[in-house]
Structure 1
């Protein structure tokens, strides 16, 4: 019921964000959308962290990156591609995004490799906690530099690509809210979604205990889809209007923000709350992130998209979802897997 409640709220969030983006530009509008969307997820992560649901938090963090890179971007490419034969976007920006996504992969793959280097699991956990906190501080600094690059020093790079060079022009814009009304609506809907998210976290253990759905599937697939509902609606809606720069900014921008801001922030918050939150993920999760980022980087660098590329991204996400559903629980997982 909480998942269903998020859907109309996500629609309101999408409408308000698009209204703001019209007046602030695609770069700032996309940043505003992913910030409000990820604020909801951050609340989910903090609630789960307080309840010491470390595995749920870790799976949800990585699942959010995957949902944005594969499902949201894939649906935007697919539905937009069905309406327009080929869509173009700013390839310079996507190259920079690809570098940042690669950094996020490195920050998660290295702790996993580091943990596997120890013969003593307890010592590995202890040392992984140290490097996770140090890496998180570095990632937060990188995010600050990225914001300065995007919004100030190189803001001109993030100007939208003219859409009249493709085979169809965008439709006429409808009525939108004023900027102040849109911001107020963003705040209200974010608060309501956060309330739904709190009840959602409280129901996880009952679902795991009374059904065949495991924690990994809930954390990696279910929670990210719910938490990213706002970005999903926004990216798909603007992609179908041929506004691919905004769609790319929302989908990939949200992944970047989760990877180099929300994830290290959660680690730092865990440090403050004396929770052993680390960047050490399971082998399955790490491989999923590496393969997904590699595929997305390969597809987006040409600056053009079509429905086949979208279908491929969605297919990869569905495969990961199937594997996650049958993933063994902690008692049955191997030492490498867990």
Structure 2
């Protein structure tokens, strides 16, 4: 047990940020201002997300490729799931939708952009698996379709009431379809070995299965506490910082769950391990689009919250355009620093658009 604990604590230099966990809890329970509570819990969740990823990877190494893929699908985006479920229970549907959108955009534009840019510096080009990239492109296109159809449905419905009821029913059905597709995509990847891989020796687990399970649930519990305080402080942050809740969801919240993944992905790219790098960025986006989003729609169904796949027209157009440019860039199996610059430029334009875009007043 001691060796497992040591491996857990020393799994990443990023773990030093865990010092903010007790600080965030102290200020949160003591009734500090919303901006302080939001900032401290924002920082505290990031190392916890990294530890969740480590525990999940350890369990995956012990369980074999099939079970490991299922574990990664279930727990790989547990931070986003926890944040989403808590926000849903508080009725913050727009924040949930924005965070889902932001997670996809940050992975395919920001992370992938930095991977191409920093990995391509000093190199003419880098290569990765074209077959797996094309599979990912198709799944990203399906994710976009699942949001385009409700938007088109809303635009062509005769009345607002008909549109609202129809979109909610359509979203529930589509969510079930997407979950089936995601399960089949996992089976396809495992069976035909299309996961992005490098020709490295297989890693060995450094913790016991019992310790990994216990640490997974303990860290998930801590994430839930911090997420509850974080979501509760959003309204105060919106008022104090004079930003809209959509910007908070699209730009700020995705940083929490993806910060550790972002660093890992870019590090692999700089080492010219592009298959691993692309896998982290693209697979995370697919998990959000085909797994997390449908689960949140179903959770809203259970909670009696009208969580649907109808995003605002502006957000749907942004996602469609982003997936289009990403699919165009990755389908040839090659990347360079200029392509990375294009992706980062796209993300910067989108971030500015969400900052300046007029939205309705915060409703919580």
TM-score between both structures, scaled by the size of structure 1: 0.84
- The alpha carbon displacement at 1:98 in A equals 0.3
Partner of residue 285, structure 2? 255
1:73 deviation in Å? 1.5
Aligned equivalents of 1:230 and 1:241: distance in 2?
17
- Superposed displacement of residue 184, structure 1: 6.1
Shift of 1:3: 2.0
Alpha-carbon shift at residue 9 of structure 1 (Å): 3.6
Matched, 1:288 2:318: yes
Judge conservation of contact 1:34–1:254 (CA < 8 Å) in 2. Answer: no
Map of 1:335 onto structure 2: none
- What residue number does 2:180 align with? 141
Q: For 1:104-133, what per-residue CA distance to the aligned partner results, in whole angstroms no more than 9, with x for missing partners?
A: 111100100100112421221111111111
Give matches, 1:223-238, under 5 Å: 223-238=253-268
Segments of 5+ residues of structure 1 without an aligned counterpart are 164-171, 333-338
The aligned counterpart of 2:11 is none
Partners of 1:134 and 1:256 lie apart in 2 by 19
1:157 corresponds to: 194
Q: Does 1:87 align with 2:126?
A: yes
Per the alignment, do residues 23 and 174 of structure 1 end up closer, same or farther by CA in structure 2, a change over 3 Å counting?
Answer: closer
1:126 & 1:149 partners in 2: Cα distance? Answer: 35
Q: Do the aligned partners of 1:90 and 1:158 also contact (CA within 8 Å) in 2?
A: no
Structure 2 match to 1:118: 157
Q: Please tell me whether the aligned partners of residues 78 and 310 of structure 1 are also in contact (alpha carbons under 8 angstroms).
A: yes
1:240 aligns with 2:277: no
User: Are residues 304 and 39 of structure 1, via their aligned partners in 2, closer, same or farther at CA, if it must alter by over 3 Å?
Assistant: same
How far the C-alpha of 1:213 sits from its partner, in A, is 0.8
Check whether the contact 1:76–1:236 (CA below 8 A) recurs between aligned residues.
yes
Aligned length in residues:
322
Q: Are 1:70 and 2:109 matched, yes or no? A: yes
Q: Is the 8 A contact 1:27 1:246 kept in 2?
A: no
**8 A contact 1:68–1:252 mirrored in 2:** yes
Q: Please tell me whether the aligned partners of residues 53 and 76 of structure 2 are also in contact (alpha carbons under 8 angstroms).
A: no
| Alpha-carbon offset, residue 222 of structure 1 | 0.8
Q: Does 1:97 align with 2:127?
A: no
Q: CA separation of 1:74/1:195 partners in 2, compared to 1, >3 Å: closer, same or farther?
A: farther
Rounded to whole Å, the distance in 1 between the matches of 2:57 and 2:337 is 23
Looking at structure 1, the residues matched to 154 and 320 of structure 2 have their Cα atoms a distance apart, in angstroms, of: 17
Distance 1:20 1:241 in 2: 26
Match of 2:97 among 45, 58, 66: 58
Alignment partners' CA distance in 1, 2:64 and 2:334: 21
1:330 alignment partner, SS class? coil
The 1:186–1:244 alpha-carbon spacing in structure 2 relative to 1, beyond 3 Å, is farther
Task: Tell me if the contact between 1:26 and 1:245 (Cα under 8 Å) persists in the aligned partners.
Answer: no
Structure with greater contact order relative to length (CA < 8 Å, sep ≥ 6): 1
Using the alignment, how far apart are the partners of 1:83 and 1:31 within structure 2? Answer: 37
The two structures, once aligned, show a CA RMSD in angstroms of 3.0
